[in-house]
Amino acid sequence: MDSGELLAALGRSVAFGTPILLAALGEILAERSGVVNLGVEGMMAVGALAAFVTTQTTGNPVLGVLVGIVAGGIAGMLHAFVSITLRANQFVSGLALSMLGLGIAGLLGKRYEGQPLVASLPEGVFSGLAIALALFLWLVLYLTRAGLTLRSVGENPAAADVLGVNVIRVRYLAVALGGMFAGLAGAFLAVSYRSSWTEGMTNQLGWIAVALTIFVAWDPIRAVFGAFFFGLLYYLAFALQNSGIPSMFLQALPYALVILVLALVALRRRQGAAPEALGVPYQRGLR
């Protein structure tokens, strides 16, 4: 493999990893506030369809991306309402959101199936944006008051509440923003990476992002490396298609790896890094 091929391989890995990174950043945001959102896959699908349809009807892919982001945010708000306000089981709510998002996108996207996109955006823009967002999120988390508030809400919401932090609002904001990141990830798939709409085009990337969040210990910078590592795997599955290894094995590889990675993380850390209040609905008790 010469250096040109190597560079190309790297480029493809980054492109494959970009939607994972974007979605994982959103999940990190939500989970840092204490809310697990398993609806990433659904939010991505909704974002992807919204971006595609908007681009197709207006011819403006930038507007498409923005609409995709908003759609992801709205989907996130649904999870926020059910899991934060109604305090339903976060895992089940997220699961339902995944089903619903995939269902709605599949249904409403039927007539766009197979259409060529009128105008697309270059992949590099999204990859650069994703890396910049990761850096930015890290800075916000650790060096600003907003980040301190967010982390505190995820660790000990009662303590934050007593100090006048509006726990519910912070969580809504984090989950909605998380949804917007997922929407952006979906939009990237629709208007740049694939430049088309097909049902199921999110291809479980949202779930990989959820696993990645645990794997990188809720750290945005580590998420960059983790996402591009998974990107490399997808690239390899694609590049080794004609190498004699049955392609089914290569395609199953990322999923097997998720399980392996989760097991390794559990072996090493015993969930030490998870935000303390993760998955627990907040309710103002008697102090």
Partner 1 sequence: MAEPLLQLRGITKRFPGVVANDRVDLEVYPGEVLALLGENGAGKSTLISILYGLYRPDEGEIRLEGQPIQIASPRHALELGIGLVPQHPLLVGRHTVAENLALGVGAPLFPAQRIIPQITRISRAYGLQVDPKAQVHTLSPGEKQRVEIVRSLLGGARVLILDEPTSVLTPQEAEALFGVMRELRAAGRSLIFISHKLEEVLGIADRVVVLRRGKVVGGVAAQEATKAQLAELMVGRSVSFERKRQAPSLGGVVLEVEGLAARSARGLEALRGVSFQLRAGEVLGVAGVAGNGQSELIEVLSGLRKASRGAVRLEGQPISANPAQLFKAGVSHIPEDRLGMGTVPSMNVAENLALREYDRPPLARGLLLNPKALEAQARAQVREYAVATPSIYTPTRLLSGGNIQKVILARELSGHPKLILAVHPTYGLDIGATEQVHRVLLEKTYQGAAVLLVSEDLEEILSLSDQVAVLYHGELKGPFPVESVTRESLGLLMTGGTA
Partner 2 sequence: MNKPAFRSGRSVFGLRLEYDPSPPARRVGLVLALAIVAAFLAASLIFWAYGVSPVEVYKTLLGDTLGSRVGLAEVLRRAIPLILIGTGLTLALRGQFFNIGAEGQMAMGATAAAGVALFVPLPPPLTLPVMFLAGFMAGGAYALIAAWLKARLGVNEILTTLMLNYIAVYGVLYLVQGPWRGKSLFGFAFTDTFPPQAQLPTLPGTLVHWPTLILGVVLAVLLQVLLTRTTLGYAVRVVGENPKAAQYAGIPIARVVLLVALCSGGAAGLAGVGEVASIHKKLLDPSQITLGYGFTALIVAYLSRGNPILSVLTALLMAVIFAGGDGMKIAFQMPFRVVDVFSGLILLFIIASEPLVNYRLRRKPHG
Residues near partner 2, by CB under 8 A: 38, 42, 78, 82, 86-89, 91-93, 95-104, 106-108, 110, 199, 204, 207, 210-211, 214, 246, 248-249, 251-252, 255-256, 258-259, 262-263, 266-267, 270-271, 283, 285
224 binds, among partner 2, partner 1, none (CB under 5 to 8 A by kind): none
- Residue 211 beta carbon to partner 2: minimum distance, rounded to whole angstroms: 5
In the block, which residue shows the tokens 């970009």? 18
Interacting positions 87-146 with partner 1 (CB under 8 A): 143-146
Token pair, residue 169, equals 């609002």
- Residue 246 beta carbon to partner 2: minimum distance, rounded to whole angstroms: 5
For partner 2, the closer CB: 6 or 263 = 263
Instruction: State phi, psi for 87 to the nearest 5 degrees.
Output: 55, 40
| 6, 166, 170, 239 from 3: Cα distances, Å | 5, 53, 47, 16
> What type of residue sits at position 47?
G
Q: Which residues contact 241 (CB under 8 A, 6 or more apart)?
A: 247, 250
169 binds, among partner 2, partner 1, none (CB under 5 to 8 A by kind): none
Among 9, 95, 104, 148, binds partner 1 (CB under 8 A): 148
Choose among 105, 78, 79: nearest CA to 91.
79
**199 near partner 1, rule: CB under 8 A:** no
Interacting positions 157-176 with partner 1 (CB under 8 A): 158-160, 162-165
Question: C-alpha 142: how far from its chain's center?
Answer: 21
Do residues 210 and 44 lie in contact, with contact meaning Cβ atoms separated by under 8 Å? no
| HSE (side-chain half, CA atoms, 13 Å) at 193 | 25
For partner 1, the closer CB: 244 or 272 = 272
Which residues contact partner 1 (rule: CB under 8 A)? Answer: 143-146, 148-149, 151-152, 155-156, 158-160, 162-165, 276, 286-287
